[in-house]
Amino acid sequence: MAYQWDFTPVVANAPLLAQGLVNTLKITGVSLGCGLVLGLAFALMRLSPRPWLRLPAGFVIEVFRTTPPLVQLFWVFFALPLIAGIELTPFMAAIVTFSIQSGAFFAEVFRAGIQSIERGQWDGARAIGMNHAQAMQRIILPQAIKRMIPAFLERSIELMKTTTLVATIAYADLLFEANEISQKTFRPLETFTVVALIYFVVIFVVSLLARQLERRLAVSGENTVH
Amino acid sequence: MKWDFASVFDNTDALLAGAAGTLRLFAICLVCGLSLGLVVGLGRYARSKWLYWPATAFVEFFRNTPVLVQILWFYFALPILLPFTINPLAAAALGISLNSAAFSAEIYRGGIQSIDKGQWDGARAIGMGWGQAMRRIILPQAIKRMLPALTNRAIEIFKMSTLASAVAYVELLQQGKLIASLNFNPIEAYTAVAVIFFVFLWPLVQFTYVLERRLGRSE
Amino acid sequence: MSLLQVRGLTKRFGKTDVLRGIDLDVQPGERIAILGASGSGKSTLLRCLNFMEMPDVGTVTLDGKVIGPSGKYRESELTQVRQRVGMVFQQFNLFPHMTAVGNVMEGLRTVRRQSKAEARTRAEKELARVGLADKAETYPAHLSGGQKQRVAIARALAMDPEMLLFDEPTSALDPELVGEVLNVIRSLADEGRTMLLVTHELGFAYHVATRIIFLADGTIHEQGTPDEVLKNPRQERTRAFLASHKQFSF
């Protein structure tokens, strides 16, 4: 006998799914913002001539690029509070983990972008009396950031997919709500199919926008870094 | 705060079982993902729209959904449509392999497209067919350029293997969870798991850096 | 008193000594052309004078004040020097994300902290001086090489430098664009500006410079008036260098 599909239980729980999607976007957005700031800081530290800035930044970047995100999340959620004597909600743990993690990836994007700017730009900036910070802020970064946009977008999409991991520490994101609804309604096939499609639509739209932007940058003759 | 790793070392057997599970899943997904990816990648490169569109839809769908969602779908949803159940290993292997196939398909396609058109001309001029040219002339050159991206994919597959813990497949993180809950030592248990992953992956990551640098120099 | 005094200037890159103990005095209003084969250290000498490269040994004294000591330069000290000693590069080094007028305003705005209106008035004046008043809103990508180099000169002039350094300003240009840049430099010479110029345009050097320096192996091999060095060189290597530059015509 063929399986009778029935989406009504899923539709009935639409508000829960909507709330889950909002939470997913919240974690993505906050981690992205913090990750960009951290990434720039890590990159500037790693490019610094001072070893006490360069080495710790290198260590954090390597560790967070080299270990699985889910292990990082579990460590931050279960181990860090005991070590630091603090309490972390699942939301906070997710923000901490994903901010540092995307910061580690963004740092390498920033570094590649900054290093892709030709030396003559530094020369030009210094020749009119700019110091290092002024040259970085006014001349180097504005050019570098334009080249980094595609890599940033790609990372942001990866981050959005990675946020599903928070479901494993019981934060009510879209995937967690899906699991709840499927257990409550005994309709896992419909629920997980709908949720997979929601993820697909949201991420696909962002991907298309990213590709459009990348094409525009390519047309305007901009180099990009990855 | 006193660190005590004795409680972790007492559970070496459990961690070894976890490591074996991680490596088994990694090997399955690496082989299936990268070889299926080649098939899909060639489909994306094909002129026939009967090959091109399904391959493209596959790539877009699996690149744009989270792996964890796929694994849970295969574990909880798919069995309803099938006359048999799906065990955790099969669900995780399916999700990770299909995702890796979608990503590596794009690597293959990009690598093949990066080869100069003259190479095709040269191969055809000595009477080679499409398949011969691809196998003997194009792929050997393209593989060299794709190597850093492919090793990167392998690293990602290794990291993704932890997602299998969500369906209670016995791998390293799952065993870490187990040890932490039995011995009340989450700090040591999760730190040990993190260190084990770092030790496995660090050489691979460094190797990829070397490949990337060498490629950057030679091109 | 000399505007710029250099004593025992030495610069190494790795194991190679690029400059070996250069002594040089520049008087206000002097125009010095520096000649030499490629690799003789001309550009490095110029770049050491505004500390784009740090000298390894030796002192640079600007207007009676010693910069340094060598090896212990403060960033604020060097940015001061670079504002007083302007530089124009072979590759222009314009900022591609800013318009022509934006390039010229940048030092005034960011370094001098001038108001936007003030910087703009000044920048437009400098662009007009190099004949590019109508290109103020154009981005560097849409300027010819000669126009780019004139914008770069305007950018240097806007900082009111006491001295200008030109590092092969026409070497990257198509032959037909060289003239417009040389004309601008000549008009600056006519104003009595102090300048040091690394160039391969021997004819231009002959007519514009007050002194010629011939550099070889990181030392000043021969120097004197243009007539002395270019018409009656005393040193064998200077003669050989001049003979190899056949386009030299008076």
Question: What would the DSSP string read from start to end of B167-215?
Answer: GT--SHHHHHHHHHHHHT-HHHHHHHHHHHHHHHHHHHHHHHHHHHHHH
Torsion of CA A82, A86, A92, A93, to 10 degrees: -10
Structural domain span for residue C72? 4-95+162-244
pLDDT value of residue C249? 52
CB contacts, 8 Å: B19 with chain A:
none
Main-chain dihedrals φ then ψ at residue C166, nearest 5 degrees? -110, 120
Per-residue pLDDT of chain C (250 residues; tens, 9 = 90+): 789 999 999 999 988 899 999 999 999 999 999 999 888 899 999 999 999 999 999 999 998 888 877 777 888 889 999 999 999 999 999 999 999 999 999 999 999 999 999 999 999 999 999 999 999 999 999 999 999 999 999 999 999 999 999 999 999 999 999 999 999 999 999 999 999 999 988 999 999 999 999 999 999 999 999 999 999 999 999 998 988 876 555 5
Residue C193 lies in a domain: yes
- Residues B131-181: pLDDT tens digits? 888 888 888 888 888 999 999 999 999 999 999 999 999 999 999 999 988
Q: How far apart are CA B152 and CA B167, in angstroms?
A: 25
pLDDT higher than threshold 80 for residue B1: no
Instruction: Quote the percentage of chain B above a pLDDT of 90.
Output: 58
- Residues A93-133: pLDDT tens digits? 999 999 999 999 999 999 989 999 999 999 999 999 999 99
Instruction: Quote the percentage of chain A above a pLDDT of 70.
Output: 96
A121 to C93: CB separation less than 8 angstroms, yes or no: yes
pLDDT value of residue C7? 93
Q: How far apart are CA B20 and CA B30, in angstroms?
A: 15
Name which of A72, A162, A189 is nearest B77 (Cβ-Cβ). A189
Q: How far apart are CA B200 and CA C40, in angstroms?
A: 52
Which CATH number goes with the domain that contains C74?
3.40.50.300
pLDDT value of residue B165? 93
B205 to A66: CB separation less than 8 angstroms, yes or no: yes
CA dist list (Å): C234 to A24, C25, C221: 80, 21, 10
Q: How far apart are CA B15 and CA B13, in angstroms?
A: 5
pLDDT higher than threshold 80 for residue B216: no
Interior/surface letters B189-207, b for 16+ CB within 10 angstroms, e for the rest: bbbbbbebbbebbeeeeee
Question: What residues 105-124 of chain A have any CB closer than 8 A to a CB of chain C?
Answer: 120-121, 123-124
pLDDT value of residue A204? 93
Name which of C92, C94, C107 is nearest A129 (Cβ-Cβ). C107
Residue A79 per-residue DSSP state: I
Distance from CA of A52 to the nearest CA of C (A): 20
B62 in contact with chain A, both atoms CB, cutoff 8 A: no
A131 to C76: CB separation less than 8 angstroms, yes or no: yes
pLDDT value of residue C161? 94
Structure tokens at C139: 């981005």
Name which of A78, A178, A204 is nearest B190 (Cβ-Cβ). A78
User: Which chains share 3+ C-beta pairs under 8 angstroms with B?
Assistant: A
Domain count, chain C: 1
If you search the block for the tokens 């700090």, which residue do you land on?
B187
> Closest-CA residue in chain A for C160?
A128
B66 to A204: CB separation less than 8 angstroms, yes or no: no
pLDDT value of residue C126? 96
Q: How far apart are CA C221 and CA C234, in angstroms?
A: 10
Residues 6+ apart with CB under 8 A from B38: B104, B105, B108
Instruction: Quote the percentage of chain A above a pLDDT of 90.
Output: 62
pLDDT value of residue B219? 59
Q: At residue B23, what is the residue type?
A: L
pLDDT higher than threshold 80 for residue B14: yes
| Per-domain residue ranges of chain B | 9-218
A219 in contact with chain C, both atoms CB, cutoff 8 A: no
B163 to A165: CB separation less than 8 angstroms, yes or no: yes
pLDDT value of residue A119? 93
Residue C156 lies in a domain: no
pLDDT higher than threshold 90 for residue B83: no
Residues 6+ apart with CB under 8 A from C8: C21, C22, C23, C57, C58, C59
Structure tokens at C145: 């090489």
Q: What is the 3-state secondary structure (H, E, C) of B90-104?
A: HHHHHHHHHHHHHHH
Q: How far apart are CA B40 and CA B108, in angstroms?
A: 9
pLDDT value of residue B31? 97
CB C221 within 8 A of CB C231: no
User: Which CATH code for domain B9-218?
Assistant: 1.10.3720.10
Residue C106 lies in a domain: no
pLDDT higher than threshold 60 for residue A221: no
Q: At residue B33, what is the residue type?
A: G
Looking at CATH, the fold of the domain delimited by A8-219 is given as MetI-like fold (1.10.3720)
Confidence band, pLDDT 50/70/90 cuts, at residue B2:
low
Q: How far apart are CA B182 and CA B176, in angstroms?
A: 10
- Residues B101-127: pLDDT tens digits? 999 999 999 898 888 888 888 888 888
Name which of C52, C106, C159 is nearest A138 (Cβ-Cβ). C106
CB C233 within 8 A of CB C222: yes
Structure tokens at C67: 């910069």
Helix axes B12-45, B49-63, angle to 10 degrees: 140
Instruction: Quote the percentage of chain B above a pLDDT of 70.
Output: 98
- Residues A11-22: pLDDT tens digits? 888 899 999 999
Average pLDDT taken over every residue of chain A:
90
ipTM value of the model? 0.89
Least confident of A61-70, A216-225, C236-245: A216-225
Q: How many CB atoms lie within 10 A of CB A1?
A: 3
Average pLDDT taken over every residue of chain B:
90
CB contacts, 8 Å: C73 with chain A:
none
Distance from CA of A168 to the nearest CA of B (A): 7
Interior/surface letters B126-165, b for 16+ CB within 10 angstroms, e for the rest: eebeeeebbeebbbeebeebbbbbbbbbbbbbbbbbbbbb
pLDDT higher than threshold 90 for residue A187: no
Q: How far apart are CA A137 and CA C126, in angstroms?
A: 25
Distance from CA of A57 to the nearest CA of C (A): 25
pLDDT value of residue B117? 87
Residues 6+ apart with CB under 8 A from C142: none
